Amino acid sequence: MPRGVDRGVVGAGSILCLAVLVACAVLPTDDPPLVLIRLAIVPLAAAAAFVLDEPAAGAVDAVPRSRRRRTGRRAAALAVPLGVWAVGIILLDVGVPSTPAAGLLVEGLGVVAVVVALAAVLRMAGRAEPGEVVASTAGAAILGLLVLDPPLWWPAPPFPVVTGWSVSTAVWSALTVVATAVVVGASRDPYRRARGRNRKA
Protein backbone atom coordinates (compact mmCIF):
# COMPACT_ATOMS: atom_id res chain seq x y z
CA MET A 1 0.00 0.00 0.00
CA PRO A 2 1.41 3.47 -0.87
CA ARG A 3 3.13 5.50 1.84
CA GLY A 4 0.97 8.03 3.61
CA VAL A 5 -2.28 6.10 3.19
CA ASP A 6 -4.03 5.26 6.45
CA ARG A 7 -3.55 1.51 6.26
CA GLY A 8 -5.48 0.87 9.43
CA VAL A 9 -8.66 2.51 8.21
CA VAL A 10 -8.44 1.14 4.66
CA GLY A 11 -7.60 -2.33 5.95
CA ALA A 12 -10.30 -2.34 8.62
CA GLY A 13 -12.97 -1.20 6.16
CA SER A 14 -11.92 -3.83 3.65
CA ILE A 15 -11.90 -6.61 6.26
CA LEU A 16 -15.35 -5.63 7.54
CA CYS A 17 -16.67 -5.55 3.98
CA LEU A 18 -15.30 -9.03 3.30
CA ALA A 19 -16.68 -10.35 6.60
CA VAL A 20 -20.20 -9.21 5.69
CA LEU A 21 -19.95 -10.74 2.22
CA VAL A 22 -18.62 -14.05 3.53
CA ALA A 23 -21.44 -14.17 6.06
CA CYS A 24 -23.90 -13.63 3.22
CA ALA A 25 -22.25 -16.40 1.19
CA VAL A 26 -22.65 -19.02 3.93
CA LEU A 27 -26.28 -18.23 4.72
CA PRO A 28 -28.54 -21.17 3.84
CA THR A 29 -30.64 -19.47 1.20
CA ASP A 30 -31.51 -19.92 -2.45
CA ASP A 31 -31.68 -16.17 -3.12
CA PRO A 32 -28.91 -13.68 -2.42
CA PRO A 33 -29.56 -11.50 0.67
CA LEU A 34 -29.25 -8.28 -1.29
CA VAL A 35 -29.93 -5.94 1.62
CA LEU A 36 -27.17 -7.54 3.69
CA ILE A 37 -24.86 -7.53 0.68
CA ARG A 38 -25.46 -3.81 0.20
CA LEU A 39 -24.57 -3.22 3.86
CA ALA A 40 -21.05 -4.32 2.93
CA ILE A 41 -20.88 -1.28 0.62
CA VAL A 42 -20.81 0.99 3.69
CA PRO A 43 -17.37 -0.17 4.95
CA LEU A 44 -16.25 -0.43 1.32
CA ALA A 45 -17.06 3.26 0.82
CA ALA A 46 -15.44 4.17 4.13
CA ALA A 47 -12.21 2.42 3.15
CA ALA A 48 -12.12 4.29 -0.16
CA ALA A 49 -12.96 7.64 1.41
CA PHE A 50 -9.70 7.81 3.37
CA VAL A 51 -7.38 6.99 0.48
CA LEU A 52 -6.83 10.65 -0.48
CA ASP A 53 -6.25 11.91 3.07
CA GLU A 54 -2.87 13.62 3.18
CA PRO A 55 -2.35 15.65 6.36
CA ALA A 56 1.39 15.99 5.70
CA ALA A 57 2.09 15.14 2.08
CA GLY A 58 5.32 17.10 2.12
CA ALA A 59 6.63 15.12 5.06
CA VAL A 60 5.63 11.81 3.56
CA ASP A 61 7.45 12.34 0.27
CA ALA A 62 11.22 12.80 0.35
CA VAL A 63 10.92 14.73 -2.91
CA PRO A 64 7.87 17.02 -3.29
CA ARG A 65 5.36 15.61 -5.77
CA SER A 66 2.51 17.21 -7.62
CA ARG A 67 -1.01 16.61 -6.35
CA ARG A 68 -1.82 14.62 -9.47
CA ARG A 69 1.14 12.29 -8.92
CA ARG A 70 0.23 11.85 -5.27
CA THR A 71 -3.34 11.06 -6.27
CA GLY A 72 -2.15 8.45 -8.74
CA ARG A 73 0.00 6.76 -6.12
CA ARG A 74 -2.73 6.84 -3.49
CA ALA A 75 -5.33 5.53 -5.94
CA ALA A 76 -3.32 2.30 -6.07
CA ALA A 77 -4.56 1.64 -2.53
CA LEU A 78 -8.08 1.28 -3.93
CA ALA A 79 -7.00 -2.12 -5.22
CA VAL A 80 -7.43 -3.45 -1.66
CA PRO A 81 -11.12 -2.60 -1.05
CA LEU A 82 -12.06 -3.22 -4.68
CA GLY A 83 -10.25 -6.55 -4.67
CA VAL A 84 -12.03 -7.53 -1.46
CA TRP A 85 -15.39 -6.57 -2.97
CA ALA A 86 -14.68 -8.62 -6.09
CA VAL A 87 -13.58 -11.68 -4.10
CA GLY A 88 -16.63 -11.43 -1.87
CA ILE A 89 -19.04 -11.19 -4.79
CA ILE A 90 -17.36 -14.13 -6.50
CA LEU A 91 -17.75 -16.21 -3.33
CA LEU A 92 -21.41 -15.21 -3.23
CA ASP A 93 -21.86 -16.19 -6.86
CA VAL A 94 -20.36 -19.60 -6.15
CA GLY A 95 -22.45 -20.17 -3.04
CA VAL A 96 -25.67 -18.64 -4.40
CA PRO A 97 -25.74 -19.03 -8.21
CA SER A 98 -28.67 -16.62 -8.54
CA THR A 99 -26.48 -13.73 -7.35
CA PRO A 100 -26.47 -10.85 -9.89
CA ALA A 101 -22.68 -10.72 -9.71
CA ALA A 102 -22.04 -8.37 -12.64
CA GLY A 103 -24.48 -5.77 -11.37
CA LEU A 104 -23.11 -5.92 -7.83
CA LEU A 105 -19.53 -5.59 -9.05
CA VAL A 106 -20.44 -2.46 -10.99
CA GLU A 107 -22.31 -1.07 -7.97
CA GLY A 108 -19.25 -1.42 -5.77
CA LEU A 109 -16.97 0.15 -8.37
CA GLY A 110 -19.41 3.02 -8.88
CA VAL A 111 -19.73 3.74 -5.17
CA VAL A 112 -15.95 3.75 -4.73
CA ALA A 113 -15.51 6.08 -7.71
CA VAL A 114 -18.12 8.54 -6.43
CA VAL A 115 -16.67 8.51 -2.92
CA VAL A 116 -13.15 9.19 -4.16
CA ALA A 117 -14.46 11.99 -6.38
CA LEU A 118 -16.13 13.64 -3.39
CA ALA A 119 -12.90 13.34 -1.41
CA ALA A 120 -10.92 14.84 -4.30
CA VAL A 121 -13.27 17.82 -4.54
CA LEU A 122 -13.05 18.50 -0.79
CA ARG A 123 -9.28 18.19 -0.91
CA MET A 124 -9.19 20.67 -3.79
CA ALA A 125 -11.28 23.03 -1.65
CA GLY A 126 -8.58 22.96 1.01
CA ARG A 127 -9.54 20.05 3.29
CA ALA A 128 -6.41 17.92 3.66
CA GLU A 129 -8.28 15.07 5.33
CA PRO A 130 -11.71 14.70 3.71
CA GLY A 131 -12.04 11.00 4.53
CA GLU A 132 -14.07 11.28 7.71
CA VAL A 133 -16.63 13.67 6.23
CA VAL A 134 -16.97 11.69 3.00
CA ALA A 135 -17.19 8.32 4.78
CA SER A 136 -19.93 9.47 7.14
CA THR A 137 -21.88 11.22 4.36
CA ALA A 138 -21.61 8.28 1.98
CA GLY A 139 -22.53 5.80 4.70
CA ALA A 140 -25.63 7.76 5.66
CA ALA A 141 -26.65 8.12 2.00
CA ILE A 142 -26.25 4.41 1.30
CA LEU A 143 -28.21 3.41 4.39
CA GLY A 144 -30.91 5.92 3.48
CA LEU A 145 -31.23 4.51 -0.02
CA LEU A 146 -31.48 0.99 1.38
CA VAL A 147 -34.15 1.92 3.90
CA LEU A 148 -36.20 4.31 1.77
CA ASP A 149 -37.62 2.88 -1.42
CA PRO A 150 -37.31 5.23 -4.41
CA PRO A 151 -40.61 6.59 -5.81
CA LEU A 152 -42.37 4.56 -8.49
CA TRP A 153 -41.58 7.14 -11.15
CA TRP A 154 -37.83 6.93 -10.48
CA PRO A 155 -36.37 5.39 -13.66
CA ALA A 156 -33.16 3.88 -12.24
CA PRO A 157 -33.19 2.34 -8.76
CA PRO A 158 -29.71 2.74 -7.27
CA PHE A 159 -29.90 -0.65 -5.58
CA PRO A 160 -32.34 -2.86 -7.52
CA VAL A 161 -33.71 -6.10 -6.16
CA VAL A 162 -35.85 -7.78 -8.81
CA THR A 163 -36.08 -5.45 -11.81
CA GLY A 164 -34.11 -2.49 -13.06
CA TRP A 165 -30.69 -4.14 -13.03
CA SER A 166 -29.70 -3.18 -16.58
CA VAL A 167 -30.65 0.48 -16.12
CA SER A 168 -28.99 0.64 -12.70
CA THR A 169 -25.80 -0.92 -14.04
CA ALA A 170 -25.72 1.61 -16.87
CA VAL A 171 -26.16 4.48 -14.41
CA TRP A 172 -23.41 3.22 -12.10
CA SER A 173 -21.11 2.75 -15.10
CA ALA A 174 -21.75 6.33 -16.22
CA LEU A 175 -21.19 7.61 -12.68
CA THR A 176 -17.88 5.77 -12.58
CA VAL A 177 -16.70 7.50 -15.74
CA VAL A 178 -17.87 10.93 -14.58
CA ALA A 179 -16.40 10.46 -11.10
CA THR A 180 -13.05 9.43 -12.57
CA ALA A 181 -13.00 12.60 -14.68
CA VAL A 182 -13.80 14.64 -11.57
CA VAL A 183 -10.91 13.06 -9.68
CA VAL A 184 -8.52 13.87 -12.52
CA GLY A 185 -9.74 17.46 -12.75
CA ALA A 186 -9.74 18.03 -8.99
CA SER A 187 -6.21 16.65 -8.69
CA ARG A 188 -4.61 19.47 -10.63
CA ASP A 189 -2.25 21.59 -8.56
CA PRO A 190 -3.58 25.04 -7.61
CA TYR A 191 -0.92 26.92 -9.54
CA ARG A 192 -1.77 25.00 -12.70
CA ARG A 193 -5.45 25.83 -12.38
CA ALA A 194 -4.57 29.49 -11.83
CA ARG A 195 -2.25 29.49 -14.85
CA GLY A 196 -5.02 27.98 -16.98
CA ARG A 197 -7.43 30.72 -15.91
CA ASN A 198 -4.86 33.41 -16.64
CA ARG A 199 -4.37 32.09 -20.15
CA LYS A 200 -8.11 32.25 -20.82
CA ALA A 201 -8.21 35.80 -19.51
Q: Would you say 60 and 54 are in contact if contact means Cβ atoms under 8 Å apart? A: yes
The pLDDT confidence band at residue 179, using thresholds 50, 70 and 90, is very high
The pLDDT confidence band at residue 66, using thresholds 50, 70 and 90, is confident
In a domain, 1, yes or no: no
Virtual CA dihedral for 130, 175, 152, 160, nearest 10 degrees? -90
Q: How many domains does the chain have?
A: 1
Q: In Å, what is the CA distance from 173 to each residue of 65, 81, 106?
A: 31, 18, 7
d(CA 95, CA 98): 9
Domain that holds residue 156: 7-200
In a domain, 2, yes or no: no
For residue 58, pLDDT over 90 is answered with: no
Angle 165-186/101-124 helices, nearest 10 degrees? 30
In a domain, 90, yes or no: yes
In a domain, 65, yes or no: yes
**What average pLDDT does range 69-93 have in this prediction?**
88
For residue 197, pLDDT over 90 is answered with: no
In a domain, 104, yes or no: yes
pLDDT at 62: 46
pTM of the model: 0.84
pLDDT at 108: 94
In a domain, 39, yes or no: yes
In a domain, 89, yes or no: yes
In a domain, 16, yes or no: yes
d(CA 78, CA 80): 5
Tens digits of per-residue pLDDT, 82-123? 999 999 999 999 888 888 999 999 999 999 999 999 999 998
Q: Would you say 65 and 2 are in contact if contact means Cβ atoms under 8 Å apart? A: no
pLDDT at 196: 47
